[in-house]
Chains A and B, each alone.
Chain A
Amino acid sequence: GDSVTQMEGPVTLSEEAFLTINCTYTATGYPSLFWYVQYPGEGLQLLLKATKADDKGSNKGFEATYRKETTSFHLEKGSVQVSDSAVYFCALQDSQGGSEKLVFGKGTKLTVNP
């Protein structure tokens, strides 16, 4: 079945450091890929998405490129801020067969220190 594997956390960085959170996937079809962010005490929010190979999703300085050859969708940000501290979830949606099901990774907790 479909699955998502993302790097184990927690990740602790200093402000203005470079961030990479790795995410790889396994899917039978041609999935859409997502990054969700969960700030403390809040629900998951869509951060960015890509729907086909070589698409780049971007938002709030975060980027991720859909790499079909490596089945990856790594999240990057050039300079993190304290306000980026949150849990980040990689997810896929394999719409083959009309399913809307989202399959999530385990989440990576990011802490950014001043």
Chain B
Amino acid sequence: GAVVSQHPSWVICKSGTSVKIECRSLDFQATTMFWYRQFPKQSLMLMATSNEGSKATYEQGVEKDKFLINHASLTLSTLTVTSAHPEDSSFYICSARLRYTDTQYFGPGTRLTVL
């Protein structure tokens, strides 16, 4: 149980386009989801925390107008990278917190490459 999926697993796009990444909790309800970014050989860096039905809370230095997060239901959160540029190329990982616990379950990640 407690499986989190991400779609797509990888995406290549042209500079200036927008890309949407989905994060789903498949077998549990997640009131809170988290979005991380991971650079090669670096640790995961938290980008934002999203709570179902409310606005996301962004970490310092993360542009909220560039990285749009929507948490419309208890099983789905989306991250949209708007007007993507090559420097946005990275590995994006989501996690979902199981309701009434403090345990986060992670998705397998999405590799974004912006040409």
Chain B residues touching A, majority SS: strand
Contacts known (A46-B103, A89-B44, A107-B43); A41 close to B49, Cβ less than 8 A? no
Contacts known (A41-B108, A43-B106); A100 close to B43, Cβ less than 8 A? no
Q: How many A-B residue pairs have CB under 8 A?
A: 48
How does the 8 Å CB contact mask read for B70-88 relative to A, with 1 for contact and 0 for none? 0000000000000000000
In this complex, how many residues of chain B approach chain A with their Cβ under 8 Å: the count is 23
How does the 8 Å CB contact mask read for B87-103 relative to A, with 1 for contact and 0 for none? 00000010101000011
How does the 8 Å CB contact mask read for B1-14 relative to A, with 1 for contact and 0 for none? 00010100000000
| B43, A89: Cβ atoms closer than 8 Å | yes
| B49, A43: Cβ atoms closer than 8 Å | no
| B49, A44: Cβ atoms closer than 8 Å | no
Compute how far the CA of A46 lies from the CA of B101 in the bound complex, rounded to whole angstroms.
Answer: 13
Shortest beta-carbon distance from A64 to chain B in Å: 16
- Which of B's residues lie within 8 Å of A, judged by CB? 4, 6, 32, 34, 41-46, 49, 59, 93, 95, 97, 102-109
Sample of 19 A–B contacts (CB below 8 Å): A36-B106, A41-B108, A43-B6, A43-B107, A43-B108, A44-B44, A46-B103, A46-B104, A46-B105, A89-B44, A95-B102, A100-B97, A100-B104, A101-B46, A101-B59, A102-B104, A104-B45, A107-B41, A107-B43
